[in-house]
């Protein structure tokens, strides 16, 4: 083997993931994948943060770890205790993994609109699952409120409250944002993703804006049908309408401003409404053109990245070869019945 070939091999091996300390140690440090066809189509570098490569299969592994660590650090839970959460799915999966790894019991309340595959997976991971009717947040029977009451009735239990527990947001200030910055060597011009709890968008936006300078990186929120956030940001934060309509996407969209999102609403530069039709088409495009198998929320984020490139690129030659990042939060397997 030539010295040059050995050098290339050594560099590749050295860049590989080191041995991690169990499931917990494997969370984060996900690849940033260039979406070749979309980049060529837009004249921008569209980069996808491959969060489906977290050990639990989604971006929510990060928040799950941080809300449990927060409960431990604040003395809210002791060994052998119970973690209770209200979730549309992926946070529950992350929590089930984290709790199993740390020796806690896990109880999940979720809307009964979620896929049976998610429910089955949660139960397989050892979580106690309660699918309940989907009602608005201001209804006392909302799945989050039921989770809170369940935790309050147990000894040595904590409701991790992912929507309003800012440990969720902190996970992305301390991990996701810094990873994107390092992976792009600071050459990041925009970031977009959808939001459920607001943690990924707000935390990543906070880090990137502070690191690059507020005007040097643009943050776009991607919103599905049935969510009120597009209208809220388009109205300059003046109109938070009642939630109407629905979407094929699961776990994203929101009817209120969560505590995770609230501190950083001023960092959002633009809002994008992404129709389900565009999301469905992108699911197939990513599989056909990129060989990447993702769910609807991931595809929605990719649509948003393309729209972001078009909006920022209008009349601006300088955008060519600019880096625009999006999150690919999970893969499709949890949403389909496999033979």
Catalytic residue positions, numbered: 60
26: left (phi over 0), alpha (psi -120 to 50) or beta: alpha
Do residues 180 and 49 touch, judged by C-beta distance below 8 A? Answer: yes
Angstrom distance (rounded) from CA 34 to CA 337: 29
In angstroms, the Cα distances linking 198 to 3, 168, 205, 211 are 49, 9, 10, 20
- Work out whether strand 45-50 and strand 32-34 pair parallel, antiparallel, or are unpaired: antiparallel
Which uninterrupted H or E stretch holds 3?
A: helix 3-14
Do residues 58 and 329 touch, judged by C-beta distance below 8 A? Answer: yes
Query: For residue 264, how many other CB atoms are within 10 A of its CB?
Result: 19
Tokens 């896929």 correspond to what residue?
115
């Amino acid at each position: 083997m030539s010295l040059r070939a050995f050098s290339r091999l050594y560099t590749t091996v050295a860049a590989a993931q080191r041995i991690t300390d169990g499931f917990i140690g494997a969370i984060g440090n996900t690849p940033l994948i260039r979406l070749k066809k979309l980049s060529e189509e837009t004249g921008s570098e569209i980069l996808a943060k491959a969060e489906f490569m977290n050990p639990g299969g989604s971006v929510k592994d990060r928040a799950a770890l941080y809300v449990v660590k927060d409960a431990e650090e604040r003395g809210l839970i002791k060994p052998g205790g119970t973690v209770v959460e209200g979730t549309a799915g992926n946070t529950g999966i992350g929590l089930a993994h984290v709790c199993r790894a740390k020796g806690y019991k896990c109880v999940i309340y979720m809307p009964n609109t979620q896929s049976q595959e998610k429910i089955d997976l949660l139960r397989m991971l050892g979580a106690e699952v309660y699918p309940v009717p989907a009602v608005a947040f201001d209804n006392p029977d909302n799945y989050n409120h039921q989770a809170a009451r369940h935790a309050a009735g147990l000894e040595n239990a904590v409701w991790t409250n992912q929507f309003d527990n800012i440990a969720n947001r902190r996970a992305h200030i301390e991990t996701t944002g810094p990873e994107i910055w390092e992976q792009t060597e600071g050459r990041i011009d925009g970031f977009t993703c959808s939001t459920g709890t607001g943690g990924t968008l707000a935390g990543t936006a906070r880090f990137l804006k502070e690191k690059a300078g507020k005007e040097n990186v643009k943050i776009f929120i991607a919103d599905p049908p049935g969510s009120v956030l597009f209208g809220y940001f388009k109205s300059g934060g003046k109109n938070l309408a009642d939630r109407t309509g629905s979407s094929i996407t699961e776990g994203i969209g929101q009817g209120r401003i969560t505590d995770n999102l609230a501190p950083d609403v001023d960092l959002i530069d633009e809002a994008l409404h992404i129709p389900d039709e565009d999301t469905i088409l992108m699911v197939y495009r990513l599989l056909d053109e990129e060989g990447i198998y993702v769910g609807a929320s991931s595809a929605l984020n990719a649509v948003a990245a393309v729209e972001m490139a078009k909006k920022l690129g209008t009349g601006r030659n300088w955008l060519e070869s600019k880096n625009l990042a999006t999150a690919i939060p999970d893969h499709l397997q949890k949403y389909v019945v496999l033979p």
